[in-house]
C-alpha cells in the first residue's frame, strides 16, 4: 500500500499531471540526492544516472530502486559496455579490478535472446533482472527457462506496479530520496521520493 502525505494529495487536486513523462525527459543526466536513516544501508550522498537512449522513465525508476535495495559500495548505478566487440551494456552492475562484470543488472528487459548472448560471454557473473510487478517477474522466469539459461546465477527482483508508475510520473532531472527502512525478511521498504511517502514491498525470485 502506498501512503501519500495529505499535503501532497490536496495540492494534486489543483495541479493535474502532465500526460507523457517519457516525452518530457529531455537530456540524459538525472541527479538524485540521497539520505539514509537505515544504519544497515549507508547510501552515498548523491548519484547521477545517465539515461541510455532506449530507456524510459520506468527503467530509471527501476534502476534507482534496485540500487537502493541491493546497495553495496562497489555497486554502480550506470552500466558500461561489455567490450568494444560486444557493446552490450547493463542497466547497473559491479565489476572486478580487471573490468570483468561480477553482477549484471537488467531493468524491464524484452529481449532474452540478447541476455543469453551476454550471459554466455560472462560465465562468472551473477544476474539481477528488475521488473515492475510480480506478474512480469513470473514472465521473466519463464523466459529464462524457455531460452535455457543456466540456473543458479539469476535473480528476478520485482516491485509493486503502482509504486513504479507513481515514481516514474514524478521523476525529474533533479530528485531526492530519503531512505528510512528496508529489509528482506519480510521484504518491505519505506522511503520518501521527491516529497512522496512510500511504504511498499518487493520480492525476489531465484533461478
54 within a domain of the structure (yes/no): yes
pLDDT by 10s per residue, the chain, length 207 = 444 433 333 333 333 334 444 444 545 899 999 999 999 899 999 999 999 888 999 999 999 999 999 999 999 999 888 876 767 889 999 999 988 999 999 999 999 999 999 999 999 999 999 999 999 999 999 999 999 999 999 999 999 999 999 999 999 999 999 999 999 899 999 999 999 999 999 999 999
Domain count, the chain: 1
Instruction: Return the C-alpha torsion angle 54, 193, 16, 8, nearest 10.
Output: 170
Residue 193 within a domain = yes
User: How many CB atoms lie under 10 A from the CB of residue 21?
Assistant: 16
Cell, residue 26: 529531455
**Strand 174-184 relative to strand 29-36, pairing:** parallel
The radius of gyration of the chain's CA atoms, rounded to the nearest angstrom, is 17
Q: How many Å apart are CA 126 and CA 131, to the nearest integer?
A: 17
In a domain, 159, yes or no: yes
Domain range for 177: 27-82+108-126+133-206
Instruction: CATH number of the domain at 70, please.
Output: 3.10.640.10
Instruction: Provide the β-strand partners of residue 101.
Output: 95
Amino acid at each position: 500500500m502506498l501512503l501519500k502525505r495529505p499535503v501532497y494529495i490536496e495540492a494534486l487536486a489543483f495541479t493535474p499531471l502532465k500526460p507523457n513523462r517519457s516525452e518530457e525527459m529531455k537530456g540524459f543526466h538525472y541527479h538524485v540526492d540521497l539520505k539514509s536513516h537505515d544504519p544497515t544501508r549507508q547510501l552515498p550522498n548523491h548519484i547521477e544516472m545517465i539515461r541510455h537512449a532506449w530507456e524510459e522513465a520506468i527503467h530509471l525508476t527501476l534502476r534507482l530502486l534496485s540500487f537502493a535495495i541491493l546497495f553495496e559500495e562497489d555497486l554502480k548505478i550506470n552500466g558500461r559496455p561489455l567490450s568494444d566487440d560486444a557493446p552490450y551494456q547493463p542497466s547497473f552492475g559491479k565489476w572486478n579490478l580487471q573490468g570483468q562484470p561480477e553482477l549484471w543488472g537488467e531493468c524491464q528487459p524484452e529481449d532474452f535472446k540478447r541476455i543469453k548472448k551476454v550471459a554466455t560471454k560472462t560465465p562468472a557473473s551473477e544476474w539481477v533482472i528488475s521488473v515492475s510487478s510480480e506478474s512480469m517477474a513470473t514472465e521473466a522466469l519463464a523466459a529464462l527457462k524457455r531460452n535455457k539459461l543456466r540456473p543458479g546465477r539469476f535473480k528476478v527482483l520485482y516491485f509493486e506496479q503502482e509504486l513504479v508508475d507513481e515514481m516514474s510520473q514524478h521523476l525529474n532531472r533533479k530528485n531526492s530520496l530519503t531512505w528510512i527502512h528496508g529489509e528482506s525478511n519480510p521484504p518491505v521498504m519505506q522511503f520518501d521520493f521527491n516529497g512522496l511517502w512510500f511504504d511498499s514491498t518487493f520480492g525476489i525470485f531465484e533461478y
